Amino acid sequence: MKVLQVGAEIYPLIKTGGLADVLGALPQALCNQGADLRLLLPGLPGIIDAVLHAKRVCQIGPVFGAASVTLLRAQMPYTHVPAYVIDAPFLYRRGGGPYQDRHGGEWADNLQRFGLLGWVAAQLAQGQLDPDWHAEVVHAHDWHAAMSCAYLHAHPADEAASVFTVHNLAFQGLFPHDDWALLGLSSRYMSPAALEFHGQLSFMKAGLKFADRVTTVSPTYAREIATQEFGMGLEGVIRGRGADVSGILNGIDARVWDPAADTALPQRYSAGQLQGKAVCKAALQKRFGLASEAGTPLLGVVSRLTSQKGLDLVLSVLPEIIRMGGQLVVQGTGEASLEAAFRMAADAHPGRVGVLLGYDEIGAHRLIAGADMILVPSRFEPCGLTQMYGLRYGTVPIVRRVGGLADTVRDAGHGEPSTASGNGFVFDTAQPPALQDAISRAFEHYLRHDAWIELMQVGMGESLSWDGPAQQYMALYEHVASDRREHRRKDLD
């Protein structure tokens, strides 16, 4: 099965969130399943400077406002997965982030930057750019890659099938309607039945409308996005796709997230040898200036600080966490108001609350290893990876019952000897009392040492690998590719 994976960020080269973790691990898992897989990535500095053995495949004429566009073939560092990289210096080689400049403003030419990514994907898939390779399936991730589905649809031969994965419906890739001519598509693609969305152009809608199949990163989120509460205005479009929309839960990369092999930790540990976790906790308390108390329940957060993540609820219940004798460490970046609120919380509770406002990959590993519990009280969460990293590290998740959190965390009840196979604590409403109740139950459970160890070990034993999800994607690819072959056969008859 020839598969082209298209995305804008990839761990460890460029990362703004979990999408990068997925693109850093899923391709390798698909290769292990026998896929003839290639990545297609924009030539952002972090990517173009890191790929190995880059060779020129072809020169692509001036397109999307870029005078010089070269398609390179290379290998990813570490995994050696084959990758195509679009070298378009004018569009991609610049400082700042993949989507935003240093001040947090969207790049003004994102339509061209990600229009190009989608267009190249469609050309490549149809064998127009590399004479040695074409794709049977294009798998596009999030709005950044979604235009590949529209360009494939618009292509007269329309040979490769497409799968579009929604990682987060909150980011849609909206652009002024007047810019549509820059996309080089016929005007019929600009109607409300296609890309038009309330007077704007929506790249997300290109994926939702034109992909052969749409997936999201958890089964629960797949159901949620068909509702007004979670659909971000696209619920009608999603409902319109009916059974074409499904959820495949993300896995985690065991090469990167494994407490028994994690070189970031002051001491490694495993489910059978937990002593190292206490060393990680002591080091974390020290690093964040917290009182060195081995028996105090230590809550951790590693997160983008945005309203999605529900961290205002944590601020609301903080006095109660302190009153119950807990400690809190937070590592995150994001909205200025949340950053300021967490900074103030740390100042107000010296020795009990520690906050690091910044992005630090190694620090994230150390925090997740050192905390007793990880808080993920999201308002919505397509999948969520940090609760899974928590499970793997014996750091018990406390989560809201939404999206992938609902699909990965099972409530352990009230601390009585566990009969159910709970692996964490789950609450329903996005209100402080509900979160507070879940934290109280976790703290009660924590006091019962043996029950707590058992709970940690249940989580550490979960199968969270990418093998199962990769098999599900392979089955989906086979399905869409055979539908496409069938279609072509009918066209010829």
* Residue 343 binds ligand ADP, judged by CB under 6 A: no
The window from 14-22, 137-145, 460-468, 476-484 that contacts ligand ADP (CB under 6 A) reads: 14-22
Q: Which of 73, 167, 392, 441 binds ligand GLC (CB under 6 A)?
A: 167
* Residue 384 binds ligand GLC, judged by CB under 6 A: yes
The window from 70-78, 382-390, 444-452, 459-467 that contacts ligand GLC (CB under 6 A) reads: 382-390
Binding residues among 205-224 for ligand GLC as defined by CB under 6 A: 217
DSSP sequence for 182-201: GGT--GGGGSTTTTEETTEE
The window from 14-22, 43-51, 266-274, 434-442 that contacts ligand GLC (CB under 6 A) reads: 14-22
**SS3 call for 6:** strand
Q: Which one of ligand ADP, ligand GLC, none is in contact with 331 (Cβ closer than 5 to 8 A by kind)?
A: ligand ADP
Task: Report the distance separating Cα 432 and Cα 352, nearest Å.
Answer: 20
The CA-atom distances, in angstroms, between 466 and each of 10, 171, 276, 392, 474 are 16, 25, 26, 14, 12
Q: Which one of ligand ADP, ligand GLC, none is in contact with 217 (Cβ closer than 5 to 8 A by kind)?
A: ligand GLC
β-strand pairing of 82-87 with 69-75: antiparallel
* Residue 381 binds ligand GLC, judged by CB under 6 A: yes
Output the smallest distance, CB 180 to ligand ADP, in A. 30
* Residue 17 binds ligand ADP, judged by CB under 6 A: yes
Contact indicator for 167, 18 with CB cutoff of 8 Å: yes
The CA-atom distances, in angstroms, between 471 and each of 120, 166, 260, 378 are 27, 19, 26, 28
Output the smallest distance, CB 40 to ligand ADP, in A. 21
Task: Report the distance separating Cα 383 and Cα 407, nearest Å.
Answer: 8
List Cβ neighbours of 78 (8 Å cut-off, separation of 6 or more).
12
Output the smallest distance, CB 232 to ligand GLC, in A. 12
Report the sign of the C-alpha dihedral through residues 314, 320, 322, 326, in that order.
negative
* Residue 385 binds ligand ADP, judged by CB under 6 A: yes
**SS3 call for 266:** coil
Cβ closer to ligand ADP: 297 or 300? 300
Q: Which of 63, 225, 364, 456 binds ligand ADP (CB under 6 A)?
A: 364
User: CA angle 403-379-16, nearest 5°?
Assistant: 80
DSSP annotation of 135 reads -
**SS3 call for 210:** helix
* Residue 448 binds ligand ADP, judged by CB under 6 A: no
Task: Report the distance separating Cα 143 and Cα 292, nearest Å.
Answer: 45
The secondary structure element, H or E, covering residue 26 is: helix 18-32
Cβ closer to ligand ADP: 126 or 215? 215
Binding residues among 286-305 for ligand ADP as defined by CB under 6 A: 302-304
* Residue 387 binds ligand GLC, judged by CB under 6 A: no
* Number of residues in contact with ligand ADP under rule CB under 6 A: 17
Query: Where do the H-state alpha helices sit in 211-350?
Result: 219-224, 235-240, 275-287, 311-323, 336-348
List Cβ neighbours of 442 (8 Å cut-off, separation of 6 or more).
297, 373, 396, 398, 425
Amino acid at 313: L
* Residue 396 binds ligand GLC, judged by CB under 6 A: no
Cβ closer to ligand GLC: 297 or 397? 397
Task: Report the distance separating Cα 448 and Cα 456, nearest Å.
Answer: 12
Contact indicator for 190, 179 with CB cutoff of 8 Å: no
Q: Which one of ligand ADP, ligand GLC, none is in contact with 424 (Cβ closer than 5 to 8 A by kind)?
A: none
Cβ closer to ligand GLC: 140 or 217? 217
Q: Which of 215, 331, 395, 423 binds ligand ADP (CB under 6 A)?
A: 331
Task: Report the distance separating Cα 125 and Cα 148, nearest Å.
Answer: 9
Output the smallest distance, CB 216 to ligand ADP, in A. 12
Q: Which of 28, 168, 285, 387 binds ligand GLC (CB under 6 A)?
A: 168
Output the smallest distance, CB 252 to ligand ADP, in A. 9
Task: Report the distance separating Cα 23 and Cα 141, nearest Å.
Answer: 9
Q: Which of 265, 328, 367, 385 binds ligand GLC (CB under 6 A)?
A: 385
* Residue 307 binds ligand ADP, judged by CB under 6 A: no
Cβ closer to ligand ADP: 328 or 383? 383
* Residue 38 binds ligand GLC, judged by CB under 6 A: no
* Residue 361 binds ligand ADP, judged by CB under 6 A: yes
**SS3 call for 470:** helix
Binding site for ligand ADP (CB under 6 A): 17-18, 21, 302-304, 331-333, 359-361, 364, 383-386
Binding site for ligand GLC (CB under 6 A): 17-19, 22, 167-168, 217, 250, 381-385, 404
